[in-house]
Every structure is written in structure tokens, then in C-alpha cells.
Amino acid sequence: MNLILLGPPGAGKGTQAKMLIDAYGIPQISTGDMLREAVKNQTELGMEAKKYMDSGQLVPDEVVIGLAKDRIAQPDCDKGFMLDGFPRTVPQAEALDKVLDGMDKKIDHVISIEVPNSELLGRLTGRRTCKACGQGFHVMFDPPKQEGVCDKCGGELYQRDDDNETTVGNRLKVYEDQTAPLIDYYTNKGLLRPIDGVGSIEDIQTRIKAVLG
Ligand code: AP5
């Protein structure tokens, strides 16, 4: 099964994707995680991407399309994959269609997680992520057992550079302008599966599984 997780920053795409990995035995492909890894390793691509990420802008299409294309071609994606945070513009979606056509693959469902803007700021500014394994937490809605320590691997939790109020504001605007048009794009293809993203993390997982079967 090949999935896309679509939704504004903080909608819960990463949180839900991590839970779906085990349930469906398919890998999560997060372009955001791949870019943050490149920033951490101070690669040329990472240094270039950081400028956009720190201001809440999108990294140029050709960069992320290349990253996603190479990742989908890996053998662990043969039985399916979950795209988290890609595509994010109509040109990215069109490029993805071409890449998948060439591989004789197709997207089965686009899970569109809907959360009102009023809820997103609090989710993002309270997010904490494990430096070692990438597990996400929230200081109020999903706190770790011990403050600053990952429940899963004992790693150190950190706050993302782009989770401050100013950058979150830019990211939400960029989402409305450049990513929200994908809702129509995938509705027209009959692939959009809207999910109410307000409620407990477990309830939302149940709603997604009800759609995927
Ligand atoms: P990326 O890392 O993809 O960030 P994003 O799309 O802004 O999404 P987030 O990771 O912020 O949110 P999420 O929906 O995964 O929420 P999460 O599950 O963590 O991208 C970062 C940057 O990289 C971009 O700004 C851009 O510069 C660049 N980039 C990446 N991909 C790109 C692309 N394709 N093209 C161009 N540029 C690209 O949840 C958030 C918090 O809420 C957590 O603390 C969680 O615990 C909590 N939470 C989750 N669910 C619930 C719930 N139901 N109730 C209460 N709290 C909840």
C-alpha cells in the first residue's frame, strides 16, 4: 500500500506515520526528517536547505523531488511506503506521478489530516523530538515519562529550530498558499481521504485505520 499523509504543520502526520509503520509494515518517508539529517551532517544540501527551513519557507522543488525519488527506489519500499510531508506543491505532486508511473506504482490513498489553525500553534511550540530515534512528544498532550528523556530509547529530547511562534506563522501561511491546493489535486483523482485530526492521538489512529482497512 502506497500512502501520502497530507496536512498542515503540526497536524500529526509524523505522529500517525510512526504508529502506522508497525501496523502496515511499510516505511515512513519524511522529507523533513531527511532534510534535518542533512542539516545535522552539514552536507552541501543541508546547508542550502537550512536557510529555507529556518524561515519556514519550502526548500526548492527540484531538491526534494530528487530526495523522494531516490528514497522510493530503495528496496524496502517495494511492498509499500508512506510519504510524510511530500508532495507539498502541485509541481511536486506532478513529478511524483511521473516517478511512480515509471516504476509501475501508484498512490492508493491520500490521508488528509484536518486540524484548525487555532490548535496548530500550541501543538508545534510544545513539541519535543528525540535526538536519537526521532520519536515525537508534546509537553502537555503527549509528555514523556521523564522530562527531556525519550521513553522509547532514553535519548535526549530537543525543540526544533522552526517550532517558534514566528516561523510557525510563516509555515502555516506557506501551507495555505502552496500545499492546500493539493487537496483539490487529489480530490480530482479520487484519492483524498479526509480525517478529522482533532481528538486523542489513538482516536485519530483508529480513524485512519478504518479508512485503510
Ligand atoms: P516537516 O518536518 O515536514 O514539517 P511540517 O510539515 O511542518 O510538519 P511537522 O513535522 O511540523 O508536523 P506533523 O504534522 O508531522 O506533526 P507531529 O506529528 O510532529 O518540514 C519542515 C521543513 O522542511 C519545511 O518547513 C520545509 O522548509 C522543509 N520541507 C520538508 N518537506 C518539504 C517538501 N516536500 N518541499 C519543500 N520543503 C520541504 O505533531 C506535532 C505535535 O503535536 C507533536 O508534539 C505531537 O505530540 C502533537 N500531537 C500530534 N497529534 C496530536 C493530537 N491528536 N492531539 C494533541 N497533540 C498532538
Each residue's pLDDT tens digit, 182-199? 999 999 999 999 999 999
**Which neighbouring-strand residues pair with 196?**
114
Query: Which one is catalytic: 36, 88, 123, 207?
Result: 88
pLDDT at position 205 is 98
> Does a structural domain hold residue 8?
yes
> Does a structural domain hold residue 182?
yes
Handedness of CA 134, 139, 141, 143 (dihedral sign): positive
Cα 11 to ligand 1 centre (Å): 7
> Does a structural domain hold residue 51?
no
Residues with CB under 6 A from ligand 1: 7, 9-15, 31-32, 35, 52-53, 56-59, 64, 85-86, 88, 92, 123-124, 126-127, 136-138, 141-142, 162, 171, 199, 201, 204
Nearest atom within ligand 1 for CA of residue 171: 25
Does residue 88 carry a catalytic annotation?
A: yes
Nearest atom within ligand 1 for CA of residue 138: 44
Contacts 24+ apart (CB under 8 A), 72-81: 72/29, 72/99, 72/100, 72/103, 72/105, 73/103, 76/27, 77/26, 77/27, 77/29, 79/25, 79/26, 80/1, 80/2, 80/3, 80/24, 80/25, 80/26, 81/2, 81/3, 81/26, 81/27, 81/28, 81/29
Q: What confidence category does residue 213 fall into, taking pLDDT thresholds of 50, 70 and 90?
A: confident
Cα 77 to ligand 1 centre (Å): 22
Share the mean pLDDT of the chain. 96
Number of domains observed in the structure of the chain: 1
82: number of Cβ within 10 Å: 24
> Does a structural domain hold residue 181?
yes
What is the distance between the terminal CA atoms of the chain, rounded to a whole angstrom? 11
> Does a structural domain hold residue 71?
no
> Does a structural domain hold residue 137?
no
Q: Cell digits for 208?
A: 485512519
Q: Model confidence over 49-94: pLDDT tens digits? A: 999 999 999 999 999 999 999 999 999 999 999 999 999 999 999 9
> Does a structural domain hold residue 48?
no
What pairing do the DSSP bridges indicate for beta strands 28-30 and 81-84? parallel
Question: Is it the case that residue 24 has pLDDT exceeding 90?
Answer: yes
Q: Which of 5, 13, 84, 139 to mutate to test the pocket of ligand 1 (most atoms within 8 A of CB)?
A: 13
Distance CA 52, CA 161 (A): 12
> Does a structural domain hold residue 110?
yes
pLDDT at position 179 is 98
Does residue 160 carry a catalytic annotation?
A: yes
Nearest atom within ligand 1 for CA of residue 200: 53
Please tell me the pTM assigned to this model.
0.95
Question: Is it the case that residue 36 has pLDDT exceeding 90?
Answer: yes
Q: Model confidence over 108-142: pLDDT tens digits? A: 999 999 999 999 999 999 999 999 999 999 999 99
Domain that holds residue 200: 2-26+79-116+166-212
The CATH number for 172's domain is 3.40.50.300
